[in-house]
Structure 1
């Protein structure tokens, strides 16, 4: 299993100057793993969190699992290929509250603009947001093994701070709701999967 690597040392940058003058050395401090780790703060209430997109447009929210096929996921535009899903759980109201609490009430211990992303990306799980007409409005695609997730559309700009540890909280949440496929860290691949190269999900078209 691949892990996110955090730089604990400062990076020295060489800043070139004009007319062949000597280069000036500048030091930029990179936050430590503890700095960009999650700290829980109950800042947003359950009712506040439900006003955040895409929770505000969803009539039902589902947790799903599926086999990894690079750049070929069950989410196709505004529909879901149900035959490709292995596990599906529809969240109850109190479970949606728990999910939004994980997403929006976990913050960076130290505020930073640094984002660490792993090269591997083999998503097998997702959170689906379905409206009253049964249309897929948006989704969050998750690779627990690579500690990485991607957002379905440009409208879904963020799901709170991307602090280190949030993905693990989501994995625990998935397992507690009975989803075993893709959440078992001891299993690196499953029968029937194809192409282990990193894939980038196609964004939903915005209406």
Structure 2
């Protein structure tokens, strides 16, 4: 019985709450928001090798990109959407202002990491300046720059980010994975 109580307490401690009140203006001054002229979200469906774990082609593709040099090529992705200024504000609010209630959960190794989605930050010439690769299946991510993270983990943060994708009509990796 005590073990259940601990698990319930741990779950309660990782619930997302607004812990910070960093203003929209201040959030917009942080990398990569300050340098981005546009933010795009995508889904990427692996093509070809069915013996390969899902998400591996997206990982290789993103690792091959040269930040600040490679242009965003919409044809490479299954679905794309441009975030509105309101959605960009919402995304930065989630990243910088939401955190866990009390204690962060332990970071367990995750073996399901199969990213199907990403957030791209583009400059005025459509060059990719940064990205966040996302796996909504296990709530993990990888970014192109150590200055770019999703902030503190809390249980609902990925659901809040997923809602931005859903509102932008991105389906693959969000509500379907086949």
Give the TM-score category using the shorter length: 0.7 to 0.9
Give 5+ residue unaligned stretches, structure 1: 1-6, 11-30, 191-207
Decide which of 161, 164, 167 is 1:170's aligned counterpart: 161
Give 5+ residue unaligned stretches, structure 2: 47-54
C-alpha deviation, 1:114, in angstroms: 3.3
Decide which of 112, 127, 142 is 1:150's aligned counterpart: 142
Aligned to 1:107: 99
Larger Cα-atom Rg? 1
Paired residues of 2:43 and 2:116 also in contact (CA < 8 A): yes
Q: Which has the higher contact order (CA 8 A, sep 6+)?
A: 2
Distance in 1 between the 2:89 and 2:152 partners? 17
Distance in 1 between the 2:37 and 2:137 partners? 29
Aligned CA-pair RMSD? 2.5
Match of 1:103, SS state, is helix
Paired residues of 1:115 and 1:162 also in contact (CA < 8 A): no
TM-score for both structures, normalised by structure 1? 0.68
Please give the residue correspondences for 1:1-207 in structure 2 after superposition, counting only pairs within 5 Å.
32-41=10-19, 43-68=21-46, 69-70=55-56, 71-73=59-61, 76-78=65-67, 79=70, 80-112=72-104, 114-156=106-148, 158-184=149-175, 187-188=176-177, 190=178
Flag the structure with higher strand content.
1
C-alpha deviation, 1:77, in angstroms: 2.1
C-alpha deviation, 1:167, in angstroms: 0.8
Paired residues of 2:87 and 2:164 also in contact (CA < 8 A): no
Distance in 2 between the 1:178 and 1:90 partners? 11
Deviations 1:90-147 (A, max 9, x none): 1121221111122112111014473345321111111100112321110010111222
Aligned to 1:204: none
Moved more, 39-48 or 174-183: 39-48
Match of 2:10, SS state, is coil
Total equivalences in the alignment = 161
Flag the structure with higher helix content.
2
